[in-house]
Amino acid sequence: MPLGRPTVVPDDGLTTRERRQRPLLIVHTGDGKGKTTAALGLALRGWAQGWSVGVFQFVKSGAWQPGEHAALAELDRAHRDHGVGGPVDWHTMGAGWTWSRATAAADQAALAAEGWAEVARRLTGEAHTLYVLDEFTYPLARGWVDIEEVVATLQARPGVQHVVVTGRGCPPALLDAADLVTEMTKVRHPFDRGQKGQRGIEW
């Protein structure tokens, strides 16, 4: 795609403007580092465009305080206080979803199902322009959430709502449904030499 121009123009009856405004289903998968980082980079771009951004972390513990969460919380505050950018709504499964009374000790499968049900409700109501479903591949692979229902819901979502799903081992059905798939391939990682995660690099 030289200079950002597609090599093929589809005969779909759409104008260039219409084609550029189509909602995308994006998957970041693979064994390499950077899946969540790339997805939250999209959240940063979306915020700058004035989009409503919803981040749903399906696996990480509520005790996990990633730097991106702090940064996006500040951007949400800037939106509320000064009207710049867009609103950011962040939820972490391990802490119990913020709309529910579930606790960190609750069954992980039940929490994942509850989280997906909330995402589905928001998709139906067109609550956000960008959804980051972080590490959502794991509940899907473990059978905590029905993959056929997820694919059908994502394909039927109304309006212009972009969805990015991250995690290793993405189920084939979701890969087939996606418009954009990036596989992160590990070439080398400090973990292989026994080095633990670093502040600012891993969180």
List the one residue out of 89, 166, 98, 167 whose CA is nearest residue 128. 89
With cut-offs at 50, 70 and 90, classify the pLDDT of residue 59.
confident
Looking at residue 88, its pLDDT comes to: 98
pLDDT for residue 33 is more than 60: yes
CA-CA distances (angstroms) from residue 176 to 71, 134, 201? 33, 19, 31
Q: In what order do the strands lie in the sheet with 180-183?
A: 88-92, 53-57, 130-134, 162-166, 25-29, 180-183
* Tens digit of each residue's pLDDT (9 = 90 or more) over 175-195: 999 999 999 997 887 777 777
- What DSSP character marks residue 7? S
Give 130-187 as a DSSP string: EEEEETTHHHHHTTSS-HHHHHHHHHT--SS-EEEEE-SS--HHHHHH-SEEEE---S
* Tens digit of each residue's pLDDT (9 = 90 or more) over 153-183: 999 999 999 999 999 999 999 999 999 999 9
pLDDT for residue 105 is more than 50: no
Looking at residue 198, its pLDDT comes to: 75
CA-CA distances (angstroms) from residue 53 to 12, 175, 176, 178, 196? 29, 23, 25, 19, 31
C-beta of residue 68 within 8 angstroms of C-beta of residue 62:
no
- Please identify which residue in the block is written with the tokens 């790339």: 38
Q: Collapse the DSSP code of 58 into the 3-class scheme (helix H, G, I; strand E, B; otherwise coil) and give the result.
A: coil
Window from 36-50, 55-69, 114-128 with minimum mean pLDDT: 55-69
Looking at residue 199, its pLDDT comes to: 75
The residue that leads in pLDDT, 67 or 40, is 40
Residues 189 and 202: their CA atoms lie apart, in Å, by: 12
pLDDT for residue 85 is more than 90: yes
Q: Looking at residues 73-80, what average pLDDT do you find?
A: 97
Residues 136 and 110: their CA atoms lie apart, in Å, by: 14
Q: Looking at residues 39-62, what average pLDDT do you find?
A: 92
Q: Looking at residues 12-38, what average pLDDT do you find?
A: 86
Superfamily for domain range 18-184: P-loop containing nucleotide triphosphate hydrolases (3.40.50.300)
Looking at residue 196, its pLDDT comes to: 77
- 110, β-bridge pairs: none
With cut-offs at 50, 70 and 90, classify the pLDDT of residue 63.
low
